[in-house]
Chains A and B, each alone.
Chain A
Amino acid sequence: NAGVMQNPRHLVRRRGQEARLRCSPMKGHSHVYWYRQLPEEGLKFMVYLQKENIIDESGMPKERFSAEFPKEGPSILRIQQVVRGDSAAYFCASSPWGWGNQPQHFGDGTRLSIL
């Protein structure tokens, strides 16, 4: 049973470009979460999605960031007009439901570097 798949593993962008990060959840998981980790810090929640719906986007910056989880295909975290401060590791996690004792299973992350 494949785990959470994130790609690319590393992404380099110049300031002003767009970054697209992809996440395929574990088989059978319909709940997807995105987190951001700055160097030497813990993970910070960004957005929680369930198929075709955004459940909680309280951690998403109001501008330039968006996320989707379409009926078919992976979840996408999109960052428009990237700035240096967007450099971080972005982790996707999935779970079969959003509560209870089921842990969130994480992908290996995408390391985004902004030149």
Chain B
Amino acid sequence: AQKITQTQPGMFVQEKEAVTLDCTYDTSDQSYGLFWYKQPSSGEMIFLIYQGSYDEQNATEGRYSLNFQKARKSANLVISASQLGDSAMYFCAMRGQAGGTSYGKLTFGQGTILTVHP
């Protein structure tokens, strides 16, 4: 079984500063993928960034980067130069390998509410 833990129910950051949202995971799969999604107050789910378990470099997508530490089983999201529009709920999720019991489906954490202050 897979498990995602997000220990920060809420985070606050000043506009233009960087913020790190924590995510730790547990899995018995050798190969897996880690995802971050953003859910604004309007409710839709927006894909932000992906990290594969065998990727040697940390993923980056614009202002988003993923600090992947495989030995620690952590996949923290770093948002640089925060903007007011970044205020939202952020979910970490993982998907298992083909053929495994966690194939296909995403397992989500509880989420972190990020508030960006002007």
Residues of A bordering B, CB below 8 Å: 31, 33, 35, 41-45, 48, 55-56, 59, 89, 91, 93, 98-101, 103-109, 111
Contacts and interface: CB of A to CB of B under 8 A. Distances in A.
B104 A56 contact: yes
B43 interface: yes
Contacts of A56: 103-105
Main secondary structure of the interface of B (DSSP, over half): strand
Interface of B: 4, 33, 35, 37, 43-47, 50, 52, 91, 93, 95, 97-98, 103-111
A45 B43 contact: no
A42 B104 contact: no
Given A91-B45, A103-B47, A109-B43, A42 B105 contact: no
Given A98-B98, A99-B98, A108 B43 contact: yes
A98 B103 contact: yes
Interface SS of chain A: helix, strand, loop or mixed?
A: strand
B105 A45 contact: yes
Nearest to B43: A109
Nearest to B92: A42
Contact of A42 (B97, B98, B108): B108
A31 B91 contact: no
A42 B50 contact: no
B110 to A, nearest CB: 5
Q: Which 9 A-B pairs have the closest CB atoms?
A: A98-B104, A106-B45, A42-B108, A99-B98, A45-B105, A103-B47, A48-B104, A43-B108, A108-B44
